[in-house]
Amino acid sequence: MPDNHFLSLVSETISALNTPKFSAKIMQLTHACLAFDCAVILGCKEAKRPIYLYDSIEKERELLFQRYLTNDYQNDPFIRYLNTHQQQGVYTLKEVISKDLDYHAYCQRFYQQTGWKDELGIFIEIEPELWVIICLGFINDKNHISIKRLSELKPYFCIIESLCRQHWKRADFHLAEPIKDHLGGTQLHASVQHALTTFGRDILTKREQEITVLIAQGYDSKEIALKLAISEGTVKNHRKRIYQQLNIASLSEFFQLFYNHLITLPK
């Protein structure tokens, strides 16, 4: 029978429905069912690029935004498994892994650099073709995944599922919640400048970065061509490759990705 602490967490999570506090509260509730070291919540729609909703990563956090959300998610075994099977539930890494080379390359880039030793995925269907994935990361040996610990979590899946469905049926998968409540004018300016110079840095050329900065500031292709003294056709070619590298298909997706990067940068 659930103890008073668990029931209190359920009550707090219900009170946080349809508010910015929900993501943190649902993770506190999940942690009470199964201890983990860090977590990421992603929104998935129609097999498109996942949308960042929440994270509690402390080590190498920039990898989530600079690599995973721009490209590496395509080789995430949990994302692949969801796209193929479309089934709710709690899944271990062993249940979803593939033996292909892309997966092993993904592990080298993500698991080794973040220090994660194991991962658990909770798949929740909000409505047809609209899913939430809660990724639980395990770093410390004491928080290892075992059959016994999994059996302790699974009975509470229906509670986590119901709360997530109630929340995200009403809350669209839009921009991530900021990690700070507000910033002063000077801090905000510095944060924007830092976001502009680091957005896509690991996968774009210097020229592509220059164009990306101007796109993020609202310049169209003609204006970018004038500022950089290149032809409009060259700008369009660069934009096409930038979109390919960021795995997006529209300007709206570009801004969504950039804003996620901006508001989740460490202070």
What are the domain boundaries of the chain?
4-168, 185-263
Give the per-residue pLDDT at 184.
47
* Residue 210 tokens, joined: 């220059």
Q: Give the type of residue at 49.
A: R
Higher pLDDT, 191 or 118: 118
Q: Assess whether pLDDT exceeds 70 at residue 256.
A: yes
Q: Write out the CATH class of domain 185-263.
A: mainly alpha
Average pLDDT for the chain: 86
Sign of CA dihedral 201, 202, 206, 208: negative
Assess contact for 126 and 168: CB atoms under 8 A. Answer: yes
Q: Assess whether pLDDT exceeds 60 at residue 140.
A: yes
Give the per-residue pLDDT at 179.
52
Q: Assess whether pLDDT exceeds 70 at residue 178.
A: no
pLDDT tens digits, 91-137: 998 899 877 666 777 777 777 888 888 999 999 999 998 999 999 99
pTM: 0.76
How far, in Å, CA of 61 to CA of 261, rounded? 11
pLDDT tens digits, 56-95: 988 888 788 777 887 788 889 999 999 999 999 999 988 9
CA 160-161-166 angle, 5° bins: 100
- DSSP-assigned letter for residue 155: G
Give the per-residue pLDDT at 175.
53
CATH superfamily ID and name for 4-168: Transcription factor LuxR-like, autoinducer-binding domain (3.30.450.80)
How far, in Å, CA of 196 to CA of 248, rounded? 18
Domain 4-168 identical in fold to domain 185-263: no
| Least confident interval from 90-104, 165-179, 182-196, 230-244 | 182-196
Q: Assess whether pLDDT exceeds 70 at residue 185.
A: no
How far, in Å, CA of 185 to CA of 178, rounded? 16
Q: pLDDT band for position 174 (50/70/90)?
A: low
* Residue 237 tokens, joined: 């070619």
pLDDT tens digits, 14-41: 999 998 889 999 999 999 999 999 999 9
